[in-house]
Structures are given as C-alpha cells and as structure tokens.
C-alpha cells in the first residue's frame, strides 16, 4: 500500500475521506506486521484522520 498524502486528500469530499479511511482500515487487518506496507497504511490513516479533523474544525 502506498502512503496517502494530505495533498491527495485535500480534493476529496468528507464522505470520500470517510470511505477511504474505511478501506485503508479494513486493508490493515490483512497486512503483515513490521512491513513498509503496514507503516504506510498507518501513516495514511493518520493523514486521513487529520484531514477529517481539519474539516470539522472549519
């Protein structure tokens, strides 16, 4: 899994952000621990969560 950046997330709607979060979260269950793929998924979740939070604070 590639890291999803805040730049990529900036153009998504709030509904799309929640959908992407759900997809990454579900994929995380199938990614082996201690891998770059897992680190990227966790980083992506952090970026998506941050973007959702920013939208709610506007």
The first and second tokens of residue 56, run together, are 């709610």
The first and second tokens of residue 13, run together, are 């709607």
If we measure between CA atoms, which residue out of 52, 8, 53, 46 comes closest to residue 24? Answer: 46
Block mean pLDDT (10 aa), the chain, length 58: 97 97 98 98 98 90
The domain spans of the chain are: 6-56
pLDDT of residue 57: 83
pLDDT of residue 2: 97
pLDDT of residue 15: 97
The first and second tokens of residue 53, run together, are 């939070």
pLDDT of residue 50: 97
User: Are 52 and 11 within 8 A, CB to CB?
Assistant: no
User: Are 43 and 1 within 8 A, CB to CB?
Assistant: no
User: Are 55 and 14 within 8 A, CB to CB?
Assistant: yes
Provide the whole-model pTM.
Answer: 0.92
């Amino acid at each position: 899994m590639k890291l999803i950046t805040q730049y990529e997330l900036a153009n998504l709607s709030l509904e799309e952000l929640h959908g992407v979060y759900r997809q990454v979260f579900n994929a995380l269950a199938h990614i082996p621990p201690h891998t770059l793929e897992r680190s990227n998924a966790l980083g992506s979740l952090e970026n998506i969560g941050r973007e959702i939070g920013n939208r709610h604070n506007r």
